[in-house]
Amino acid sequence: MSDFSNIEIQDLDEQQALSELKRLAEEIARHDKLYFQKDDPEISDSDYDALRQRNLAIEGKFPDLVLDASPSKRVGAAPVDGFEKAAHAVPMLSLGNAFSREDVEDFSSRVRRFLSLDDDAPLPIVAEPKIDGLSISLTYSNGEFVRAATRGDGRVGEDVTHNIMTIAEIPKQIAGNVPELFDIRGEVYMGHDDFVALNEQNEKTGQKTFANPRNAAAGSLRQLDPSITAKRPLKFFAYSLGDAQVLGVKHHSDVLAQFDAWGFPVNPLTKVCRSVDELMEHYEHIALNRSDLGYDIDGVVYKVDDLALQERLGFVSRAPRWAVAHKFEAEKAVTQLEAIEIQVGRTGALTPVAKLTPVTVGGVVVSNASLHNEDEIARKDVRVGDYVVVQRAGDVIPQIVEVLLDKRAEKSEPFILPDVCPACGSPAERAVDPDTNRQDVVRRCTGGFICPAQAVERLKHFVSRNAFDIEGMGEKQIELFYGLEWVKTPVDIFSLEARDGDRLTSLKNMDGWGEKSVSKLWDAINERRTIGLDRFIYALGIRHVGATTASDLARFYGEAERWLQAMVDAGDEENSAFDDLKNIDGIGGVVARSLTHYFNEKRNLEQVQALFEVVTVEPVEFEEVASSVSNQTVVFTGKLELMSRAEAKAQAERLGAKVAGSVSAKTNIVVAGPGAGSKLKKAEELGVKVLTEQEWLDLID
């Protein structure tokens, strides 16, 4: 997969942004599973946060490219086996991140713009320490504690009620006038002293020791035997209500005050601030005293205090617009670059990776760093033998921030990326976009099907979480089956079971396998013989077609056969099918040509047709929304005076409308404010219904 992670976001073009968003989505999903399901992260929080920060920043610049599988649209990872699943009445969403004063100012400005608030209008914001623990939702019925669930994927978590019952700080009964049914959200954590004592005890008895207090808290809470959890010194801070409206109060600070009155621990460093200066002052105060708190925090959370404004601001996918987490700065270290290796990705991209003398950065040993592409290597003049500054905050594979030129050897030579693929020997070229005449920043192998590196990566993508999501068929299994020549194409996956008895060695007799594990794999494959059209399209791994684009295509064409025929017809750019494809909101010429190029290759078309024979691709089901504008395509143009453009778009989408960026014959409504120009003119020419902003508000009221 292409790696553009060292290119400044403002320098990314649309193709690079798409590729980068896909790469980020896959990497973040993998680390979510390690963190949320296995309590065994392999990267630091700062590393992880930097991934999400870059993803959000790219989505901010390229809003039409947001993937359906974007990390900004999901939280955590699916529940693990061993606990009952527990659905959240109100999703447990995560937070966007800030890393500097400028980011905090941007957060404040975004909120004000969305709400159309003047710079001097009051906007109280609550600042509270971000506890590094395990998020929990506690459900109370008529004041009695009845259930506890982990965050899970944000919508469904693990039922850990019996284990939560062992935590003394959590009230099991709330007296007085309480709502009939409500959820309290908070963080389960372990203090430093308790963590050290637990590890010392475990070491003495030969049991597992934990890497940090967060892992200790998560591991303790996920014990299948509650008696083990009861022996662990877990603590709790409450920080929000699932639905704050049930209390009938007006401010988040009022909610916290009610928690305190009910007997829930509320962090004493929580403070209502009335300016960015106050927020930064409190942030610095908390950071200064961080080491003396007795528990881990990894930043400060800012939340708009007014609950009515929170309601108006709403959410962007996985995160609220009214809150942000201001994280602490990542660490850096100096080490030597020993070699540069070339990796070949799914789309043939040649990615250089620095092999480093191992160095500890933020408590984790680093031995690799991304060099991204040949232009970045040339720009930074990175050479083998250089001493470099490494920062674990820009990628899963850490970034090289700068080269220490004063330590460079006299005979060092610039690194030249090979012009042949190291995996198959085919020419590696930098393509030129015919529309812009710009050269692609990435050099790609032209071997296609004959390149083993591309084939394996394509298969890994096909079975990945946001594609066919076949449990038990991960990277290692794909590499094994490909190496044995059992799986060369996606279709081969669905005949594995039928062909197993024909081989000299059955899978169950191979090292690491047995009857039970093989049976589970066959079941997992068979469970995925029915799939939605959007996931099917995404699974094909077509360049520039991420989950969002796949969803857009699925919604536009509705059925698999109709979509496939349209892709074939669009191969002729003179055919109206190409215009239909190119004009889909969020598609455009680059993506359209990528799709037609894929299906102009006969083997790709045959592969998709063969997949249709072994899987059932379900048509898109459109959710019925009780609204006068549901399923209508709306375009906003000109200056909106009664609400911001962002709020208008969010409101329309909540009502089931589709907001487009351009006017076409398929547009149903154009909302035109003062200064409307070419879009209004085109709407009038096409006879599209045109409304003023007030008429629009009257329509949706």
Give the residue numbers marked as catalytic. Answer: 130
Please state, in angstroms and rounded to a whole number, the distance separating the CA atoms of residues 678 and 314. Answer: 31
- Max intra-chain CA distance, the chain: 81
User: 674: which DSSP letter?
Assistant: T
User: Which regions of 51-103 does DSSP assign to beta strands (E)?
Assistant: 85-87, 96-98
- How far apart are the C-alpha atoms of 201 and 203, rounded to whole Å? 5
State CA 673 to chain mean position distance. Answer: 35
| CA–centroid distance for 446 within its chain | 30
Tell me if residue 330 falls in helix, strand or coil.
Answer: coil
Residues 307, 309, 312, 317, CA torsion sign = negative
Task: Rounding to the nearest 10 degrees, give the CA dihedral for residues 389, 393, 394, 397.
Answer: 80
The residue behind tokens 């892992």 is 215
Q: Are β-strands 387-391 and 399-403 bridged in parallel, bridged antiparallel, or unpaired? A: antiparallel
Q: What is the DSSP letter of 27?
A: H
Structure tokens at 579: 């215009």
**97/60 Cα distance (integer angstroms):** 13
Specify whether the CB–CB gap between 318 and 344 falls below 8 A. Answer: no
Could you count the other beta carbons within 10 Å of the beta carbon of residue 416? 9
Say if residues 45 and 327 touch (Cβ distance below 8 Å).
yes
CA–CA separation, 633 vs 652, rounded Å? 10
Distant-in-sequence, close-in-space partners of 437: CB < 8 Å, separation ≥ 6: none
> Could you tell me which residues are beta bridge partners of residue 637?
672
DSSP line for 564-578: HHHHHHTTSTTSHHH
The sign one gets for the Cα dihedral 568, 569, 572, 578 is negative
Q: Do residues 242 and 137 lie in contact, with contact meaning Cβ atoms separated by under 8 Å?
A: yes
Q: Which amino acid is at 255?
A: V
By the 8 A CB rule, do 495 and 550 touch?
no
- The radius of gyration computed from the CA coordinates of the chain, to the nearest angstrom, equals 27
| Residue 124 tokens, joined | 């109280």
**DSSP string of 99-154?**
-SHHHHHHHHHHHHHHHT--TTS---EEEEEEE-SEEEEEEEETTEEEEEEE-TTS
CB 315 within 8 A of CB 114: no
DSSP conformation letters of 429-495: E--B-TTT-PBPSS-EES-GGG-HHHHHHHHHHHTSTTTT--TT--HHHHHHHHHTTS-SSHHHHTT
Strand partners, 444: 349, 429
